Amino acid sequence: MNITDELKRKNPELPLFCVTDPEFAPYGRILPCKAREELSAAMEQTGIPESGNRYTASEPALEALASIAEIGRTVYGGMPIQAGFCNGRGSALNAEEYHKCSEVNYSTTGLVLLLALPGDVHDRILDSRDVRGFYLPPHTLIEIHPRVLHFAPCRIKDSGFNCLVVLERGTNEPLDSVDPSAPGEEGLLWMRNKWLLCHPDSPQAQKGAFVGIAGENLTLRI
């Protein structure tokens, strides 16, 4: 039994696929990766925390890589970018965010991404039953399309995950002010180029983010 089948067996309530499956096409695409060894060696140096998740938006050691410069040219058309990582041991949905640019991910550990499409959101509410899980195998470079909802990855083993995160520069930096009570999309804007919907049981809800996920706060069992 391969890892996708094993995860499906343990999580029957979650529609779960691999990024190599055709079901991934509306959410993103696999990218060619010419320098896996370089990228993998750099990601292995980023470390996985003992608990929780750690996000670093901009990591100079990653941004100095030729492979990151290539992503900047081929995916972002030469726009200024940042390369960082989200590493950890999380396994819960908690929230979904979207950006108005692509996000590029890569992992040496493998992980599961919990994704939703823009059309799954109705009146600023996402039903967690519309969330899909996608297994990202180790050493696979992917692009998540703009506006596709995603958040921190889920681990597939107790030792946790590492995940490269490439975005347009400035994404996820603090805003001068946010107003979750504002109407429309304005109420979802939480950080620069980051629109966020959270589950009422999430840490993000405790911080005042817009509560826009209904249903179960999904947790990936491994």
DSSP state of 139: T
Q: How many Å apart are CA 53 and CA 90, to the nearest integer? A: 6
What pLDDT, on a 0 to 100 scale, did the predictor assign at position 1?
A: 64
Q: CB count, 10 Å around CB of 30? A: 14
What pLDDT, on a 0 to 100 scale, did the predictor assign at position 20?
A: 98
What pLDDT, on a 0 to 100 scale, did the predictor assign at position 137?
A: 98
Separation in Å, CA 199 to CA 56, 142, 186, 196, 205? 23, 26, 18, 10, 7
The tens place of each residue's pLDDT in the chain, 222 residues long, gives 689 999 999 999 999 999 999 999 999 999 999 889 999 999 999 999 999 999 999 999 999 999 999 999 999 999 999 999 999 999 999 999 999 999 999 999 999 999 999 999 999 999 999 999 999 999 999 999 999 999 999 999 999 999 999 999 999 999 999 999 999 999 999 999 999 999 999 999 999 999 999 999 999 999
Separation in Å, CA 21 to CA 28, 134, 136? 11, 9, 11
What pLDDT, on a 0 to 100 scale, did the predictor assign at position 153?
A: 98
What pLDDT, on a 0 to 100 scale, did the predictor assign at position 13?
A: 96
pTM, two decimals, is 0.97
Per the CB < 8 A criterion, the answer to whether 219 and 92 are in contact is yes
Phi/psi zone of residue 57: left (φ > 0), alpha (ψ -120 to 50 degrees), beta? Answer: alpha
What pLDDT, on a 0 to 100 scale, did the predictor assign at position 163?
A: 98
What pLDDT, on a 0 to 100 scale, did the predictor assign at position 34?
A: 85
pLDDT tens per residue, range 66-77: 999 999 999 999
